[in-house]
Structures are given as structure tokens and as C-alpha cells.
Structure 1
Amino acid sequence: MTDLYQSRRYTIQLIIIVITLIFIARLFYLQVIDKDYKQLAKATVLRQTTVFPARGLVYDRNAKLIIDNQKEYDLWVTPGQVKEIDTVGFCDLVGISDTFFRETLKKAREYSRFKSSLFVKGISVDKYAAIQEELYLFQGFFGQVRTVRAYPYHSAAHVLGYISEVTPKQIDQSDGYYKRGDYIGTGGIEQSYEKALRGVKGTRYVLVDVHNKEMGPFNEGKFDTAAVPGKNINSTISIDLQQYGEKLMKGKIGSIVALEPRTGEILCMISSPEYDPSLLTGQDRGKNFRLLLTDSLNPLFVRPLKAAYPPGSTYKATLSLVGLQEGAITPSSSYNCPGAYYVGSLRVKCDHSGFVPDLVAAIQHSCNSYFCNYFRRTIDYDEDHSVAQGLDDWKKGLGYFSLGQKTGIDLPNEGYGFVPGSKYYDKIYGEKRWNSVTVVSLGIGQGELGETPLQMVNVISAIANRGYFYPPHISREIIGDDSMLIKYKTKHVIPIDSSNFNVVVEGLRQVVLAGTAAASQIPGVTMAGKTGTAQNPHGNDHSLFVAFAPVEDPKIAISVVVENAGFGAQYAAPIASLMIEKYLNDTISASRKPVEQRMIEANLIKHAAAGKSHK
């Protein structure tokens, strides 16, 4: 009997021990292993919030503030804290639909019941003040302030960029910096200088009661870390010149890019149609972005960086320099133009006819026959080399000016343009089955040749400098850290004799004095330039003009492209000359006011579906 009781006692003791071990194991799991329980317990009394730093401000070259900050609020939710609430009352308070509420809360729960998720973003200060008064009624929801962008001049959207919510891919690539719901620079300066502008996030711990009201800092803020504001940037652009260019390009499709030749600093960069950058801020950002994205005129497309146009006659100055250096052309090279260039059954029309005594006159009158002839001589010049080698040497010469490659501007998504080489034509026609006649259209800037407006202005800037350029750039100074800008201080010297540049500059000066751009002269300012008419198989020809001034001491170089506008002298040259005059003199002379008015009033967009999302 004693043994029986003894056995039962051991059994009961074993059961008690097992149950105790189970409780200990469970407690260990909940308190040590299971982070969700720990997070829920902490979230009930302690809230960790991110303190977002103020993004760096951006100024123009004259210290005018062009990107500012303003406060707005985001509404966040911790799903595990959400109890039965008055959904209708909450939706009315915040200004959202019941469907949006349920779908967003479902996504937040799928992400995590205990981690906070962004619920509604971009709430204005005034609206959030009304929400905050009643937010304690809705447990699990809380507001978080952040600074967002403001654009005092409502201009230069393609240069400045905007901020948007980070994507999962960006989060994965950020080494833990970005979290779901964070914002990041997209496009323009905002993207290129994101690391400098964003600053460093801080952390704040606050105590909250059961009604979701903040009770004050935890442990007197000893565990808080301060946010570090982003660095300010002084940009190179002149916001006044930028706005004037946008005014001139209103009702037109195309671009204007102007820079300072001696430094490579971008003075303005207009991509038309333009849009107000303020459209991509606040709660209506998503709706406005969709309107811009679906607009048939494609206002989000950054034409100065990505659109590759046949340069037309604007390229004849570049060909002249390559031909001079190769020895295929001399300053005194002449040609008798019969009004077209003929070879076999091929005819290339020329608006000039008669004897061309030298290269300066050929540039001045933009003689197609002359340049077709001397382009062929350039690639056929060396009898020891094949036509393929001659074309590749020509391509190499264009590469000195950054044609067919990126200029390296400090803005994202720059295009390459296109300069065809022998491999390109071998693929189309077969090796040794093409010759200089096949590609003669390259001699007048047509065919497969493509240049971006940025490349065009970089070329004319190098010519203005008589043989060198600095990489074009949009940032002049990052306050407190200029290490990112060192590469823009590197001088790129073009291996072409300076004497050759002098000949070409004189030809460009004659274009404005007594050539195709004579109607665009600026009183009291010597300007050199070249008109261009780029053939367009999809509609009217594009109007192009490149120029610099003053000729003796260049302070501005410019390229203008107006799509479907006809000859270069019709629109591109007048617009460019007005931009130069405005920059150099800060005003337009009385004699040229009619030209200014005509350019401003001209509406060349004949598109029934033109939207209202752009300017």
C-alpha cells in the first residue's frame, strides 16, 4: 500500500514538474523568442517614432530659394492596437472612403500586426489640426509630422525633380536606411543629390495611454536621437532666365538649354511642355501624376536629356572641325554648288547655289552641297584606310565633343544620342557593301545621327571656348561637402588645333551677321550661331539653333529645339537670341519687343487632346 501511494506521489510530482516546465518554456518563448508579443507590450505603453529631418534647401545662382520645405502630416496605424471603432466617423474625419479604409487596413495587417504602417499621407497642417482633436477616439492610429517640398516659383520641374514614396526595391538597396512609407528624391536635383539633401533620421520614444494620447517623452528623452537636417545646395540655374524660357516656349514642344561656357554651369534647362512641380506634392500627388503620365504631350519626358534629334545644319560646325583636323578640308576649300549635291542618281537639295569660296562662306550660307562633298572627303581621305575606318575616325572625332556618349551631367537618365559607326552599317548592308555615298546624309546632320539638346549646347560651348569644355552640371555648391562636385572642375581639352576653331567661329559669326540667322541679331551684342532644320518623317521639320555670345568673351552658350516649327531661323533662332539678350542685358531692347511678343504668342501645338496638367 505504501508503494502504491509512493508511486502516485511521484506521478503527481512529475505532472507538476512537466506543467511548470511548459509554463516556463511558454513564458520564455513569449518574452525572449516571440518579438511580436514584446512589440505589442511595448506598443501599448511606449511608441517609437521616426523624426524625419528637414531636407536641404535649394537655391538658384543668385541665392533665390527655389526649393523650400513645408510641414505636412502622415497618418500611421498599428493594426494590433486597432479595436472596434466608428469606421464611418473615422472616414468622415480623415476624408477617405470606407473601401479605402478597409483595403489599407488589410494591407497593413498583412505587413505586420505590430509594426506601424503608413495609412494616409500628405495631410495639410490645417486639416491635421482638426483630425488630431478626435484622434484619441481611434486607438492604433497616430500622426507623424514630416517636411515636404514647396516650390516658390512653380517652375523648373524637370531640373528640380520631386519626392515620392520609396519602392520595395529602393528599400532593399538602401542598407536599412529607408522603411516602408519613407520618401525619396525622384528625378532632377532631388534624385541626383538625395544623400546630401535627405539628412539623417532621428528617433523619439513617447509614452501613450490606453486612449492613444501621448503622455510625454520616455525617460525624459534620454534614448532619443536628434535628426540631422539635409545639406543645402546652391544650384547653377538662374530662375529668372528659366521662367523667361518657359514663357517663350509656352504652346510649343521642344527644349532650351543654356550654360556658361567657361564653367559648364547650366543656366537654364527648359523641357516643354512644362508643368508646375507643386502638382506632385500633397494628397493630390497621385491623381496629378496619373494625369501627367497619360497626357498625350508627355510633359514628364525630359527632352533636353533624352530626346535625340537629327542636328541638321547645326552639326556642320562640328564636321568642319573634324575635317580640318583630318586634313580633308582647309580654310580655303571651295566648291561650286549647282543648287543640289549630285552623285549618280542621288540628289541632296541645297537652298544655296553658286560658288562657295571657302569654309567660312560654306558655314555662313549653310551649303548642303559643300558639306556632302567634304564629308565624303573626310571619310575617304586616307587611301590607306577603308571607308569603314574613315567613318570610325569621323565617329572618334565627334566623340571628342561627347557626341554618341553621355556628357556626365549631374542629372539622372541622360541619353547617349547616336553616332553610327562602321559596325552599324555592316549590320544593315553587309561588310564592304556600303560606301561614303550610302551615308552621305550624315554630312548635313541627317540620317541616323542623333544629338540631345544638352549635347548640342556642349558642342557649341566647346567651340565658344576654342577647344575645351567643362562637364555640364546643375549644382554649384553643396554646403559643407563639395566632394561630389570635383569631377565637374576637370577641364576637357579637345585634340583639335585652336587655329581650326578660329576659322569655324568666324563662320558662325558670319551666320548671324549676314547669313541664315541675320534676322536674330542683338543690338550691341556679337553673337555666333548656326541654324538647323531637322527633317522629321512624322510631321513638319524641327527648328534648331545653337549659339554663343559675346563672341570675344563668351558668357552664355545655348541650344534651342522647337519641334515641328520649320526652318531654324523661324523660331529657334529668335528664341535663342531673346534668351541671350535677356541674360546679358536683363531686358529686351525696344526694337526687338515685336519679336518677343510674336514668340510668346505663337502656339504651335495642334493637338486636340492637349491636357491641362501642363503649362
Structure 2
Amino acid sequence: MRKILLFASITIVGLIFIFRLFYLQVYTAQNHNLFEDNAIKKVYDYPKRGFVYDRNGELLVANQPSYDVMFIPREVKPLDTLEFCSLLKIDKNRFKDIYQKAYHYSPWLPSVFIAHLSKEDYAVLQEKMRKFEGFYIQKRSLRLYQTTIGANVLGDLGEVNNAIIKEHPYYKMGDLIGKQGVEASYEDILRGKKGVKFIQKDRFNRDIGPYKDGVYDTLPEPGKDITISIDSKLQEFGELLMKHKRGGIIAIEPSSGEILAMVSAPSYNPNLLVGRNRSKNYTKMHYDTISKPLYDRSLLAQYPPGSPFKVLNALVGLQEGVVTTDDKFSCRMGYYYNGRRLTGCHSHPSPLSMNDGIAQSCNSYFCNVYRRIIEKYDDPAKGMNVWSNHIKSFGLGNYLGYDLKIGSKGYIPDGAFYDKWYGKGRWSSTYNISNAIGQGEVLATPIQLANMVAAIGNRGYFYTPHIIKNIEGDTIDENYTTPKYTTIDKENFEPVVQGMFDVYNKGTATYLRVPGIDICGKTGTAENYTKIDGVKTQLTDHSIFVAFAPKDNPKIAIAVFVENGYWGSRFAGKIASLMIEKYIKGHITRTDLEDWILSHSLEDEYAKPYSGKPFKINGETTLQVTPIDKSIKSKISNLSD
């Protein structure tokens, strides 16, 4: 019995040892997380980031070598900090701050000590790295911008923070990620995939060679190159025209929805956000709350669309059958209701039909059309909802779904908005008559208006605006190749298109015509208010212009906003005509317009203090900030072009 018990005990113990060895050497090895093993050092091999080309194949963004000084806090040995700091061009306090921050993050994981060494600094430091245990140099690539334009389009790279690392474990402390523009939108495609080498350490924390002879090591996968839809020559020209001005330009190819130019002014050289000076330059621009160079006005700024919005009311009026192209309305320097003038207007022939109403940008005409739309229905809220849905079908009042990370919704009111504001059944179309002329509660971004005019040029449909044109070895999202249709029937577009064509032939943009190009456009002047010390304050009006060309089968649709630009044809109209000619012809013949734009700045306009002299508009106390140009008629309320 004892022999059997002894044999059984030895057998059981032996089986336990065998099972334990199997568990440690086979099972746990299969589930062993090398990235969490402190006895194994991880060295990352960063891939080449994908290049960025413009629509014509011009290289815009490439790469340049960069060297980061890395360290593992627990492995740092006593060193000559004065010599080390001298080599890195930092002071001792900076050394302590970096070390303590990294130690707090993780004493075992690699952290960046100093990023983006130049080739020269790297060469000097490399010779002495053996003296500084726990530190090593890691090579990676930085962006090299082959251009000085398109900073808001191209974006930039910045270091990841703890929040990003927590959400995306792929990234480690010190890694770079796209922060804005194309770099952010197509980060997953451009970045590639890091390779990694696992280095075994002994009990004295010394490297003893590749873990398991490198069987788990991986090679980096380079990022894919992309081609964006921007025409760099057109972008450069647009930025030149917007120099010393604030605002945005969006140009779209109507037949595809591809963004040809996306100008935000003022802008900056994208190379300012590369290398060791990135943080300093970014901070300086971030705190420039006056000119806001980091604020992309082409996508984020929400403006009253002004008179360009009138063409949508013409389309809705035709669709709803409340107006014909032959109906005429009179104008007595404004629109009157019960003997009270609700909106002002400029001098022009009267009465006007739709064609002349568009060409002459008559406020009274469109107030009449707007009232007919809303009052077609017994309940004004229902009329507002019908109107709102038509307008929103052009992409206004919501995010367009383009492939850029930022944007604003704009605003298109509906019946519920006014029910809440005035009370259900306690308002009528005259309460919000300013919507007829693109003022009131209506807000739009430059890209929304460019998309709107592209839909008109296409006679009723548009493609979601997008910046991507081609991805190496891949296809673009079908969302950008599928047409979206408005609620307006195709036949209703022709009279409106003709009216926009006559804006150039006999209307408010006659002197902006470009020989050999049939342009359809619409000038706009939007009132501009802000609050100063709690008082509603009037600033100089915004200059707005939308257009597409040629009239049939358009190649370009454009929206231009120039802040404080006085009226539509003064700044925005000239810029739009020049951009259209530059894109279609490749050169400028209207050099008179070009010379005027390049020689006129609005910097003095932006610097003007308010006069402090109050007056009343529609019963509200208002301060006039800048003098109104003498060529503009006296303002009592909304003024047309």
C-alpha cells in the first residue's frame, strides 16, 4: 500500500510539474503580451508618411528626416546634466520638468525627451550618446511642405496626448498625428503602420539581443500617397487676392463636387508648424484673437448670406407655384407693409419681373415672393416648414458631410423656431421678412453657398463637396460620387440661371464681366453686427459674391466672403471674376480688376474704433463702428446691392 501511495505521489507531482512547464512555455507564451513585458525593450521603426499631391500632380507635402532623443526614466543613470543640456540647447530646469513628467507617465516606457533634432544637432549628439545611459536616438520623418500656401487645407502634425492614446492605443507618447486639414482627415491612410523590434534584457537591464531571434519583429508599412482636388495655382492666386483682407473663398467643380480652392484669410505658411519651433509658432497664432489665422473661415465662419440667398427664394416660389416669371412687383426704395417700410432698397427701374428682380437684386421683389410662399398655407408655421425644407435640400442649415474634420451648420429657421420665439399662431411672414433677402435668422458658411450655387449650375443636384481625388491603391468613398437632388424641379432652374446670367449682362455686376466666359453670378451685401459693452453694434457690411461658369455645363462654382468689404461687387465680385478667369483660361485679362484688388487693403477698416455715437435701427439702440461709404444709400434697415 505504501509503495502504491509513494508511486502515486511521485506521479502526481511529476504531472503537476509537466503541466506547469507546459503552461509557462506553451500556453502563456502564446498569450504573452510583449508590449507589457518590462524585460523586453520595444524599439519602433516609423514608416514613411504618404505624400500629398494636388489635382495636377504637383507635390505639395513630402517628408524630411527628424531625430528624437528618447529615454526610459528608470534606466537613466547619473550624468553630466550641464553637458547634456548644452548639447540639447535647454536649461537644467527644462531637463527636470521633462524627466518628472515622463516618470509620472511611466518609469518603464520610452518617452520623448527632445523631439525634432536637426541633422547638425543629431551629428554632434550621436558621438556622445554612449555617455548618457537610458537615452537613445530614434529616427522618424517630419513633414516637408513644398509650398507656402494652403495651410488650412493641408493641416499639420502634432504630438498625441493622453486622451488620444487612451482612445487609440496604436499611438504612444511622442507619436505624431494629423491635427488639421488633410493630415487629420486622412491620418489612417497617410500614417502607414509602425514596425517594431523586441530586444531582450538581462537581470541587470542590459540589452542582450533580439527577443527569440527577432521572430516577432515587424517591418513598417509605408503610408499611402493621396491626390487632393485642390488646384494649387488657383489656391495660390486666391490667397494672393485675399492678402490684407479677412474672409473665405470656396471654389467647387460642380460636375464632381471636388474642391478646387479653399482659401481662409488671413493664413500662414504651413512650414511654421513643423519642427522644434512648432509649439512657439502655434501658441503665437492661437492667441491672435484679432486676425485668427488658425480659424478656417471658409468652413467655420457663419455669415448672413445676403442677396445670393434671394435666388433660392425665387426657386422655391416657382416650385410652390406662387409666382411666375412674368409676375411683377413694384419697389419704392424698399418694401412696405401697412405703410411702414420693412426693408430698404437701392434705386432701379420699377416694377420688376423675376429676371430683373434677380439682375437688379430688388429687396421688394423677393419680400413679395417670400410672403406668397409662407402665406400659401393657412398656418404660417406649416409654410415656414415647407420653405425650410426646400432651402435645406441645397445643403444649407446642416453639415454637408464633406471629408474635412471641421465645419459649422449654419442656420435655416423653421416653423417651430418662430412658434417658440413668438408663440404658436402669434406671428406671420412679416415678422421674419428679412429671410427673403438672406438676413434675419439665416446663416451660411462659404462652403455651403459654394455648394448651393453648384447645385443651381447643375440645375438641381450636387455632389457632396470633398477634398480627396485619389488614394493610392484604393477608391474614394461613394458618398462623394453619388448625386444629391434638391426638391426643386429641373425646369424651374432655367429662369433663375438666366437671371444670374443677366446680373453680369445688365445688373449689379456688369463691369465685372470677363471676355469669352459666360458667368452667372449674384452680388450680396450682408449687414454686420456685433456687441460692444452689451450694445448691438453695426460694423461695415460684408461683401459677398457667388457665381458659376460657364452658364452651361459649368466647370467652376464659387463663393467669396470678404469681411467688412462694404458691398458685393466692390471686393467679393472682383475676386470671384478673377478666380473664374484664372481657372478657366489659366491667365488674367481683366488686369484692371486684379490691380485694384492687389492695391486695396482692408487692414485700416479692421483697425477702426467705433465712433460711440448711438442711433436706432428697428427700435434697437445701435453704435456705428465704421463710417458707411457715401456711395451707399442711407441705412434704415436691410439694404440691397
TM-score normalised according to structure 2 size? 0.85
Unaligned 5+ segments in structure 1 are 1-27, 610-615
Q: In structure 1, how many angstroms separate the alpha carbons of the residues matched to 2:136 and 2:206?
A: 9
Q: Tell me the CA shift for residue 118 of structure 1.
A: 1.3
Letter matched to residue 443 of structure 1: A
Specify which of 127, 133, 137 is matched with residue 139 of structure 1.
133
Structure 2 match to 1:552: 552
Structure-2 change in CA distance of 1:215 and 1:144 (3 Å): farther
Q: Tell me the CA shift for residue 497 of structure 1.
A: 1.8
8 Å Cα contact 1:136-1:213 kept in structure 2: no
Q: Tell me the CA shift for residue 213 of structure 1.
A: 11
Q: In structure 2, how many angstroms separate the alpha carbons of the residues matched to 1:145 and 1:138?
A: 18
Structure-2 change in CA distance of 1:125 and 1:218 (3 Å): farther
Structure 1 match to 2:144: 150
Q: Tell me the CA shift for residue 601 of structure 1.
A: 2.3
Q: Helix, strand or coil for the counterpart of 1:337? A: coil
Structure 2 match to 1:20: none
Q: Decide which moves more: 518-527 or 600-609.
A: 600-609
Specify which of 495, 498, 503 is matched with residue 506 of structure 1.
498
Whether 2:196 is the aligned partner of 1:198: answer: no
8 Å Cα contact 1:352-1:367 kept in structure 2: no
Q: Tell me the CA shift for residue 386 of structure 1.
A: 0.4
Specify which of 397, 400, 404 is matched with residue 404 of structure 1.
397
Structure 1 match to 2:618: none
Specify which of 35, 54, 63 is matched with residue 60 of structure 1.
54
Structure 1 match to 2:249: 256
Structure 2 match to 1:350: 345
8 Å Cα contact 2:87-2:121 kept in structure 1: no
Q: In structure 1, how many angstroms separate the alpha carbons of the residues matched to 2:577 and 2:148?
A: 25
8 Å Cα contact 1:380-1:436 kept in structure 2: yes
Structure-2 change in CA distance of 1:140 and 1:65 (3 Å): same
Letter matched to residue 332 of structure 1: D
Letter matched to residue 568 of structure 1: G
Q: Tell me the CA shift for residue 214 of structure 1.
A: 8.9
Letter matched to residue 358 of structure 1: S
Question: Equivalent residues in 2 for 1:221-240 (5 A)?
Answer: 221-240=214-233
Structure 2 match to 1:613: none
Q: In structure 1, how many angstroms separate the alpha carbons of the residues matched to 2:554 and 2:252?
A: 10
Structure 2 match to 1:543: 543
Structure 1 match to 2:368: 373
Structure 2 match to 1:109: 103
Structure-2 change in CA distance of 1:211 and 1:584 (3 Å): farther
Specify which of 289, 292, 310 is matched with residue 316 of structure 1.
310
Specify which of 64, 67, 75 is matched with residue 69 of structure 2.
75
Q: Tell me the CA shift for residue 222 of structure 1.
A: 4.2
Q: Tell me the CA shift for residue 290 of structure 1.
A: 0.4
Structure-2 change in CA distance of 1:330 and 1:292 (3 Å): same
RMSD across aligned positions (CA): 2.4
8 Å Cα contact 1:137-1:211 kept in structure 2: no
8 Å Cα contact 2:390-2:486 kept in structure 1: no
Q: Helix, strand or coil for the counterpart of 1:49? A: strand
Letter matched to residue 598 of structure 1: W
Q: Helix, strand or coil for the counterpart of 1:247? A: helix
Q: In structure 2, how many angstroms separate the alpha carbons of the residues matched to 1:571 and 1:211?
A: 72
CA offset digits 1:254-292 (Å, max 9, x no partner):
011001010000001000001111111100110001011
Letter matched to residue 392 of structure 2: G
Greater helix percent: which structure? 1
8 Å Cα contact 2:116-2:276 kept in structure 1: yes
Q: Tell me the CA shift for residue 208 of structure 1.
A: 9.3
Letter matched to residue 363 of structure 1: I
Q: In structure 1, how many angstroms separate the alpha carbons of the residues matched to 2:487 and 2:416?
A: 25
8 Å Cα contact 1:69-1:149 kept in structure 2: yes
Q: Tell me the CA shift for residue 427 of structure 1.
A: 2.0
Structure-2 change in CA distance of 1:91 and 1:211 (3 Å): farther
Letter matched to residue 524 of structure 1: G
Q: Tell me the CA shift for residue 111 of structure 1.
A: 2.2
Structure 2 match to 1:86: 80
8 Å Cα contact 1:184-1:194 kept in structure 2: yes
Q: In structure 2, how many angstroms separate the alpha carbons of the residues matched to 1:214 and 1:507?
A: 78
Whether 2:431 is the aligned partner of 1:438: answer: yes
Q: Helix, strand or coil for the counterpart of 1:560? A: strand
Q: In structure 1, how many angstroms separate the alpha carbons of the residues matched to 2:209 and 2:431?
A: 79
Q: In structure 1, how many angstroms separate the alpha carbons of the residues matched to 2:554 and 2:131?
A: 67
Q: Which runs of 4+ in 1 moved over 6 A?
A: 207-220
8 Å Cα contact 2:70-2:136 kept in structure 1: yes
Q: Helix, strand or coil for the counterpart of 2:540? A: coil
The number of equivalent residue pairs is 568
Structure 2 match to 1:598: 596
Q: Helix, strand or coil for the counterpart of 2:442? A: coil
CA offset digits 1:428-465 (Å, max 9, x no partner):
22222211111001111101100100010001001101
8 Å Cα contact 1:338-1:353 kept in structure 2: no
Q: Tell me the CA shift for residue 125 of structure 1.
A: 2.3
Letter matched to residue 553 of structure 2: D
Whether 2:238 is the aligned partner of 1:245: answer: yes
Q: Helix, strand or coil for the counterpart of 1:392? A: helix
Letter matched to residue 230 of structure 1: G
Q: Tell me the CA shift for residue 221 of structure 1.
A: 4.5
Q: Decide which moves more: 69-78 or 600-609.
A: 600-609
8 Å Cα contact 2:352-2:365 kept in structure 1: no
Structure 2 match to 1:14: none
Q: In structure 2, how many angstroms separate the alpha carbons of the residues matched to 1:129 and 1:402?
A: 55
Structure 1 match to 2:283: 290
CA offset digits 1:103-134 (Å, max 9, x no partner):
11111222222221111112122221211111
Q: In structure 2, how many angstroms separate the alpha carbons of the residues matched to 1:115 and 1:497?
A: 63
Letter matched to residue 545 of structure 2: F
Q: In structure 1, how many angstroms separate the alpha carbons of the residues matched to 2:400 and 2:128?
A: 55
CA offset digits 1:281-313 (Å, max 9, x no partner):
100110001011011211111111111111110
Structure 2 match to 1:452: 445
Q: In structure 2, how many angstroms separate the alpha carbons of the residues matched to 1:376 and 1:156?
A: 43
8 Å Cα contact 2:160-2:175 kept in structure 1: yes
Q: Helix, strand or coil for the counterpart of 2:477? A: helix
8 Å Cα contact 1:39-1:114 kept in structure 2: no
Q: Helix, strand or coil for the counterpart of 2:386? A: helix
Q: Tell me the CA shift for residue 80 of structure 1.
A: 1.4
8 Å Cα contact 1:531-1:546 kept in structure 2: yes
Q: Helix, strand or coil for the counterpart of 2:314? A: helix
